[in-house]
């Protein structure tokens, strides 16, 4: 008969496996990591990040893990930091490395689940910064279904050149201008050297900010946290608070399955449409829903596309970056506006233990006179910008983003390529002309 040698703790749902007399060898190894008799009395909380030095999206996340640990300690639990991989789309794209991008999402999910499960943690905080980090973390969170919270590393600040805000897309556009003789190589180099001034995810409504926003809307990250810039004091504060909040979830017995409901996904799609989010939201929300055992289909996106207008004038189809949204109230202010007008489910529970509506009471409305979010009566587009298409090219469905696109249909000769590299070479060689339809096959 096994004898417990530590006191009972109703929050040690999983780490109690180390408590019996016969687990003395296990504890011997854990003591080498700094655990003591007092530590063994506490629930173990994992803090896992996608820290890496190869991308601004993730370069600061190891430090954020240390900050999250302080929050866990402050709440009375024992934090243990782990790491996993990342692949930066902005660096891999247009190279053979891009083949590993989507694969990295599932490796992240599997590695988090393996590490958290293999070490019997009672709860965990997942910290991510680049595109596939967010859905990878969320798939693991849904599969594990133990108290967990996601913390976003934050958006990058805009770069500045000659008094004008620029971002990574400015460099892409610069390449196009250079190829057509409208910009010199030196001018492109200036863009390159000033577009990304520090850490954080790409600054427009691209995949990282889209998925961080969706996770906040669903209720799996702290209110307001998705729009806090990477280098802001608010970001450091919400990372530390995430450590406290996950221990609170443990105390409440609050699990991801309580939060990741059908209504949570509906609200995530709604806000994605309103903000003009990335097409990748379809891919990732479907995968997260599958892990959470929520019935969500590609057709559901079209239902919300028809009823939710596009309100945000954010890059890549608008003029503002994500930090500008933060400056006028952030994601909570947008959610308040949509909730007030009947677009969201305000009675859903979130990781704070409060409902969506209760969380939003603590936040201000959108700044009066702001230009980032257009009013419902005069939207950027009357319906949503993400449209699901079906036809002989994609019988099971394809997704198109039509924000900023005024042409409703196109007929033209198809220029077909079997790799990104071949397509880029054709563009640079002026083989693509007005009216052509470019098809790149086998890149998923």
Q: So what's the pLDDT on residue 9?
A: 53
Would you call the peptide bond into 316 cis, given omega within 30 degrees of 0 as the criterion?
A: yes
Q: How many whole angstroms separate alpha carbon 48 and alpha carbon 123?
A: 11
- pLDDT in 10s for each residue of the chain, 444 residues: 334 333 345 799 999 999 999 999 999 999 999 999 999 999 999 999 999 999 999 999 999 999 999 999 999 999 999 999 999 999 998 888 988 999 999 999 999 999 999 999 999 999 999 999 999 999 999 999 999 999 999 999 999 999 999 999 899 999 999 998 999 999 999 999 999 999 999 998 999 999 999 999 999 999 999 999 999 999 999 999 999 999 999 999 999 999 999 999 999 999 999 999 999 999 999 999 999 999 999 999 999 999 999 999 998 889 999 999 999 999 999 999 999 999 999 999 999 999 999 999 999 999 999 999 999 999 999 999 999 999 988 899 999 998 867 777 889 999 999 988 899 899 989 999 999 999 998 876
- Residue located via tokens 């995430």: 242
Distance of CA 371 to the CA centre of its chain: 24
Q: How many whole angstroms separate alpha carbon 336 and alpha carbon 158?
A: 26
CB-count exposure of residue 293 (10 Å: 0-12, 13-18, 19+): exposed
DSSP per-residue codes, 114-166: HHHHHTT-SEEEEEE-STTHHHHHHHHHHHH-SSEEEEE--BPPPEEETTEEE
**For the segment 65-89, what is each residue's pLDDT rounded down to a tens digit?**
999 999 999 999 999 999 999 999 9
Q: Which residues pair with 160 in a beta bridge?
A: 165
**For the segment 212-250, what is each residue's pLDDT rounded down to a tens digit?**
999 999 999 999 999 999 999 999 999 999 999 999 999
Q: Do the Cβ atoms of 382 and 393 come closer than 8 Å? A: no
Burial 175-213 (b: 16+ CB within 10 A, else e): beebeeeebeeeebebbeebbbbebbbbbbbbbbbbbbb
Kindly report the length of the chain.
Answer: 444
Q: Of 197, 202, 200, which Cα lies nearest the Cα of 169?
A: 202
Whole-model pTM: value is 0.95
Q: So what's the pLDDT on residue 69?
A: 99
User: Which domains are seen in the chain, by residue range?
Assistant: 43-157+198-385 (3.40.50.2300), 388-440 (no CATH)
Q: So what's the pLDDT on residue 7?
A: 37
E strand or H helix that includes residue 238: helix 233-252
């Amino acid at each position: 008969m096994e004898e417990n040698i530590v006191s009972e703790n109703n929050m040690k749902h999983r780490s109690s496996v180390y408590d019996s007399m016969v687990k003395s060898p296990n504890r011997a190894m854990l003591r080498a990591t700094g655990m003591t008799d007092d530590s063994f009395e506490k629930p173990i909380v994992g803090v896992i990040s996608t820290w890496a030095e190869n991308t601004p999206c993730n370069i600061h996340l190891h430090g954020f893990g240390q900050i999250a640990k302080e929050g866990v300690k402050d709440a009375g639990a024992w934090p243990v930091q782990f790491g996993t991989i990342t692949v930066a789309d902005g660096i891999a794209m247009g190279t053979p490395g891009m083949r590993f991008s989507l694969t990295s999402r599932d490796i992240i999910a599997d590695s988090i689940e393996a590490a958290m499960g293999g070490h019997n943690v009672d709860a965990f905080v997942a910290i991510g910064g680049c595109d596939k980090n967010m859905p990878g973390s969320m798939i693991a969170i849904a599969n594990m279904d133990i108290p967990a919270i996601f913390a976003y590393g934050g958006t990058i600040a805009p770069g500045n050149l000659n008094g004008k805000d620029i971002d990574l897309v400015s460099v892409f556009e610069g390449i196009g201008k250079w190829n057509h003789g409208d910009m010199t190589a030196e001018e492109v180099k200036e863009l390159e050297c000033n577009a990304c001034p520090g850490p954080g995810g790409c600054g427009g409504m691209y995949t990282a900010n889209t998925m961080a926003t969706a996770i906040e809307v669903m209720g799996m990250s702290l209110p307001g946290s998705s729009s806090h810039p990477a280098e802001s004091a608010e970001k450091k504060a919400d990372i530390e608070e995430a450590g406290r909040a996950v221990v609170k979830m443990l105390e409440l017995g609050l699990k991801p399955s309580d939060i990741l409901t059908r209504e949570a996904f509906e609200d995530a799609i709604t806000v994605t449409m309103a903000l003009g989010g990335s097409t990748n939201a379809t891919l990732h929300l479907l995968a997260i829903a599958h892990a959470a055992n929520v019935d969500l289909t590609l057709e559901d996106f079209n239902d919300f596309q028809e009823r939710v207008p596009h309100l945000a004038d954010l890059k890549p189809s608008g003029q503002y970056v994500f930090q500008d949204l933060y400056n006028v109230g952030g994601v909570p202010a947008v959610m308040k506006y949509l909730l007030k007008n009947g677009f969201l489910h305000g009675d859903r529970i979130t990781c704070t233990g409060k409902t969506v509506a209760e969380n939003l009471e603590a936040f201000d409305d959108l700044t009066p006179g702001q230009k980032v979010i257009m009013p419902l009566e005069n939207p950027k587009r009357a319906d949503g910008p993400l449209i699901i298409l079906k036809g002989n090219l994609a019988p099971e469905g394809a997704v198109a983003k039509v924000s900023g696109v005024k042409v409703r249909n196109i007929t033209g000769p198809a220029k077909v390529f079997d790799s990104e590299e071949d397509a880029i070479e054709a563009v640079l060689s002026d083989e693509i002309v007005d009216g052509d339809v470019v098809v790149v096959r086998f890149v998923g």
